[in-house]
């Protein structure tokens, strides 16, 4: 049987109070809609349709790289039933199963969707609703049962005080038989507190027609949390992060304080790595085994080998750190920084588009930008590659075994040859051949008794 997915994402998301479409807000680093589409992908659907409306252009633009997704626009947004109707032209003439997902319900487990499909098909249902029993049902539609069977769903704003006591809620996720669903949805009226066309009204319509409506109830209510406000967004992030931390710990990673480990879903961390408090590991970051990441560091889209130490307060984005590297505290590695085996980067050092060769060191206060540094090079404190001439970025090459004295400036493009020495305080404007010494500071001048003489002059 064919499966078709429809995702509702046209609503305004009023309670977010945001200029950004709600489903683009990030839960633990990823947009809400990414979670929903990832869950949907597991169903290997024949079609996926996203109903957009409010800020449709921004949303379509953000999702333009998605293949096999059809957008339909709901304008104006008259409620969830009206939203589903917009998908009718896409699904006309198809049969099978329609899975309706909500763009703002990110945590649904793939096996719940699987269970939904199984229940729906095995019972030959016309509709199946995913429900949950929660402690605080505030804001959700309530499942009204007669005997065992679902009779209807009542929205909080339309519920009697007795109905508000019901703790079984509607997740907003359903399976429908495609056949007949649009006709039935068209018969939904907007006779309710919000003057909206409510999709949950389909339940009572089907029941009155004697059609089978089933439910499945998730055991973990977190799965069906909707995100309608910033605090619900934070709550969803917390759940994803707790889950991620638990997975990593189960796989042998030490996380000193899971509550302050901000590790995005797609990050990988090897066994026996220790993550100290207040560390953010983001995007596509991969971290090897036996590493230690000290507190206050943020690592984004970067790759760390094994036994790497990141001392406190480093910012590492789009960088590569090979095995046995140590960086920080307070290092900034960005934009293709490539630190090779056993190299060391110390405090207040910035690397950009720079290779720091195996065993090389830059321990204090340096800027290495657009540079290729060979192996076993020593970069003295305060070294700066002057890579920008006001128009172009130019490269600095420092060959194996070279020694750059403290407080030197290398005016790129320039090369310091193999094993060469650059004296402290040198401004290197010309290439330094292998094995040479370059110095540029003038001879020191010393004025004896200068301090005493100046004092005397001031007194006179």
Chain contacts with Ca ion (rule: CB under 5 A): 104, 226, 228
Residue 237 site contact among Ca ion, ligand UD1, none (CB < 5 to 8 Å, cut-off depends on kind): none
Residue nearest to ligand UD1 (CB): 141
Check residue 169 for interaction with ligand UD1 (CB under 6 A).
yes
Instruction: Closer to Ca ion by CB, 226 or 369: give it.
Output: 226
Going residue by residue from 136 to 165, which x/- string records binding to ligand UD1, judged by CB under 6 A? ----xx-----------x-x----------
93 vs 222: CA distance, rounded Å: 36
> What does the DSSP 8-state code read for residue 171?
E
Of the candidate spans 79-87, 345-353, 422-430, 436-444, the one that interacts with ligand UD1 by CB under 6 A turns out to be: 79-87
Which listed residue (74, 273, 360, 415) binds ligand UD1 by CB under 6 A? 74
Question: Which residue, 375, 379, 393, 325, is CA-closest to 349?
Answer: 379
User: What are the beta bridge partners of residue 170?
Assistant: 131
- Contacts of residue 122, defined as CB under 8 A and 6 or more positions apart, other chains included, come to none
Are the C-beta atoms of 62 and 31 separated by less than 8 Å? yes
State the Cα–Cα distance between residues 337 and 392, nearest whole angstrom.
19
Q: Which is nearer to ligand UD1, 104 or 370 (CB)?
A: 104
Q: Which two tokens stand for residue 165?
A: 């006591």
| Span of 116-124, 166-174, 363-371, 422-430 interacting with ligand UD1 by CB under 6 A | 166-174
Beta bridge partners of 260: none
Considering the candidates 276, 313, 364, 376, report the single residue annotated as catalytic.
364
Query: Where does residue 243 rank: exposed (0-12), middle (13-18), buried (19+ CB within 10 A)?
Result: middle
Q: Which does 171 bind (CB under 5 to 8 A by kind): Ca ion, ligand UD1, none?
A: ligand UD1
Q: Least distance to Ca ion from the beta carbon of 190, Å?
A: 18
Q: Does 112 bind ligand UD1 (CB under 6 A)?
A: no
Among 199, 263, 355, 384, binds ligand UD1 (CB under 6 A): 199
78 binds ligand UD1 (CB under 6 A): yes
- Token pair for residue 376? 């076993």
Q: Which of 103, 357, 359, 382 binds ligand UD1 (CB under 6 A)?
A: 103
Q: Which is nearer to ligand UD1, 227 or 316 (CB)?
A: 227
Residue window 365-404: x/- pattern of binding to ligand UD1, with contact defined by CB under 6 A: ----------------------------------------
Using CB under 6 A as the binding rule, whether residue 51 contacts ligand UD1 is answered as: yes
**Residue 72: strand pairing partners:** 51
What's the CA gap between 199 and 177, in Å, rounded?
14
Rounded CA separation 396/239 (Å):
47
Binding mask 9-28 for ligand UD1 (x = CB under 6 A): xxx-----------------
Exposed, middle or buried, 391 (CB in 10 Å: 0-12/13-18/19+)?
Answer: exposed
Binding footprint of ligand UD1, residue count (CB under 6 A) = 29
Q: Is 82 a catalytic residue?
A: no
Q: Interface with ligand UD1 includes 228 (CB under 6 A)? A: yes
Beta-bridge partners for 168: 133
What is the side-by-side strand order in the sheet with 338-339?
268-269, 286-287, 303-304, 320-321, 338-339, 355-356, 371-373, 396-398, 414-416
| Closest residue by beta carbon to Ca ion | 226
The one among 48, 55, 77, 387 contacting ligand UD1 by CB under 6 A: 77
Cβ-proximal residues to 440 (8 Å cutoff; 6+ apart), any chain? 423, 425, 426, 427, 428, 429
Q: Nearest approach, Cβ of 107 to ligand UD1 (angstroms)?
A: 11
Beta bridge partners of 262: 280
Length of the chain: 460
Residue with tokens 């626009």: 73
Residue for token pair 């590297």: 325
Around Cβ 187, how many Cβ atoms within 10 Å?
A: 11
Nearer to ligand UD1, 155 or 282 (CB): 155
Options 70-78, 126-134, 318-326, 336-344: segment touching ligand UD1 (CB under 6 A)? 70-78
DSSP secondary structure letters along 71-83: EEE-SS---HHHH
Q: Give the nearer residue to ligand UD1 in terms of CB position, either 56 or 368.
A: 56
- Name the site residues for ligand UD1 (rule: CB under 6 A): 8-11, 51, 74, 77-80, 82-83, 102-105, 140-141, 153, 155, 169-172, 198-200, 226, 228
Active-site residues, by number, are 364
């Amino acid at each position: 049987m064919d499966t078709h997915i429809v995702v509702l994402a046209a609503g305004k998301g009023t309670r977010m109070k945001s200029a950004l479409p709600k489903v683009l807000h990030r839960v633990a680093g990823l947009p809400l809609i990414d979670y929903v589409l990832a869950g949907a992908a597991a169903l290997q659907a024949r079609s996926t349709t996203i109903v957009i409306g409010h800020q449709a252009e921004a949303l379509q633009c953000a999702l333009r790289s998605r293949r096999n997704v059809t957008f339909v626009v709901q304008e104006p947004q008259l409620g969830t039933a009206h939203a589903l109707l917009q998908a009718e032209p896409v699904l006309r003439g198809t049969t099978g199963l329609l899975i309706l997902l909500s763009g703002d319900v990110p945590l649904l487990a793939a096996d719940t969707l699987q269970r939904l499909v199984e229940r729906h098909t095995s019972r030959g249902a016309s509709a199946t609703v995913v429900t949950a029993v929660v402690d605080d049902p505030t804001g959700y539609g309530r499942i009204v049962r007669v005997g065992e069977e679902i009779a209807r769903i009542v929205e909080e704003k339309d519920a009697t005080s007795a109905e508000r006591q019901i703790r079984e809620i509607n997740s907003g996720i359903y399976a429908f038989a495609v056949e007949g669903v649009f006709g039935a949805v068209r018969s939904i009226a907007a006779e309710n507190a919000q003057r909206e066309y409510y999709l949950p009204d389909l339940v009572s319509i089907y029941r009155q027609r004697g059609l089978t409506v089933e439910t499945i109830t998730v055991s973990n209510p977190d799965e069906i949390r909707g995100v309608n406000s910033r605090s619900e967004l934070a709550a969803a992030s917390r759940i994803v992060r707790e889950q991620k931390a638990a997975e990593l710990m189960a796989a042998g990673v030490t996380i000193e304080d899971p509550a302050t480990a901000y590790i995005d879903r797609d990050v990988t961390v090897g066994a026996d790595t220790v993550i100290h408090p207040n560390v953010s590991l983001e995007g596509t970051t991969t971290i090897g085994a036996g590493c230690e990441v000290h507190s206050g560091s943020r690592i984004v889209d970067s790759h760390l080998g094994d036994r790497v130490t990141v001392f406190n307060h480093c910012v590492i984005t789009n960088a590569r750190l090979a095995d046995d590297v140590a960086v920080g505290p307070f290092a900034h590695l960005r934009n293709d920084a490539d630190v090779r085996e056993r190299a060391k980067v110390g405090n207040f050092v910035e690397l950009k588009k720079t290779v720091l060769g195996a065993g090389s060191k830059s321990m204090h206060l340096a800027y290495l930008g657009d540079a290729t540094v060979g192996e076993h090079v020593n970069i003295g404190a305060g070294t700066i590659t002057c890579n920008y001439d006001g128009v172009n970025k130019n490269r600095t090459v420092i060959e194996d075994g070279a020694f750059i004295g403290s407080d030197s400036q290398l005016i790129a493009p320039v090369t310091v040859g193999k094993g060469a020495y650059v004296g402290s305080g040198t401004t290197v404007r010309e290439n330094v051949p292998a094995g040479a010494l370059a110095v540029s500071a003038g001879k020191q001048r010393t004025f004896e008794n200068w301090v005493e003489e100046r004092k005397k002059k001031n007194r006179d």
